[in-house]
Chains A and B, each alone.
Chain A
Amino acid sequence: EAAVTQSPRSKVAVTGGKVTLSCHQTNNHDYMYWYRQDTGHGLRLIHYSYVADSTEKGDIPDGYKASRPSQENFSLILELASLSQTAVYFCASSDAKGWGGQDTQYFGPGTRLLVL
């Protein structure tokens, strides 16, 4: 049973349009993350959240918003989609029980976004 699911799995959007990517986890984890993956750049952190109703900026937050309405759900919002936001987006969750950094991230299957 997949513990982190994402929807949609793929999407084509128009430049300037609004895009919402959704993520749902059943791991009972406090932390959730949004990454984008581009060839040659690996995984880059966009936003993350460690508690419902609160989000934090990651390394590349510009052009993206995030929403964490509950522990299980975390959304990534592109208010004005641009060509440069074409990428694969991954959601992840983790326990992050405390400091020490010895934590495993559990990733969803990804959403392939194409902005035209």
Chain B
Amino acid sequence: QQQVRQSPQSLTVWEGETAILNCSYENSAFDYFPWYQQFPGEGPALLISILSVSDKKEDGRFTIFFNKREKKLSLHIADSQPGDSATYFCAASKGYPGGYKVVFGSGTRLLVSP
């Protein structure tokens, strides 16, 4: 019940296209969903996040679409650039008194070809 699944494992798009990365989760108690971006040789860094009370969150070219009923969300990267080539992790989080629990998916490796 704690799993977070991501698909596809890897994705290649052409520069300028929209990349769509998918994520699903099992535990309906999760209420916060951050996406982390990781470049080779670096640690992950927060890219964008959404709360379960929202169905959409935009930040520039990055948009999260969230479907609470289906326990699915997706990250859309519009006008993809070669600099967006990285691994993207979807995570799911729930709070509890004194702390919180976060579970990471296995990641999607995105390659944007010029």
Contacts and interface: CB of A to CB of B under 8 A. Distances in A.
Chain B, interface SS category? strand
A99 B43 contact: no
A99 B46 contact: no
Given A40-B106, A102-B32, A102-B51, A90 B99 contact: no
A109 B93 contact: no
Nearest to B30: A101
Nearest to A9: B41
Contacts, number: 73
A11 to B, nearest CB: 16
Given A50-B99, A99-B99, A101-B95, A42 B104 contact: yes
A109 B43 CA distance: 5
Interface residues of B, number: 30
Contacts of A103: 32, 93, 100, 102
B97 A42 contact: no
Nearest to A44: B104
Interface string B1-28: 0000010010000000000000000000
Interface of B: 6, 9, 30-32, 34, 36, 41-46, 49, 51, 89, 93-102, 104-107
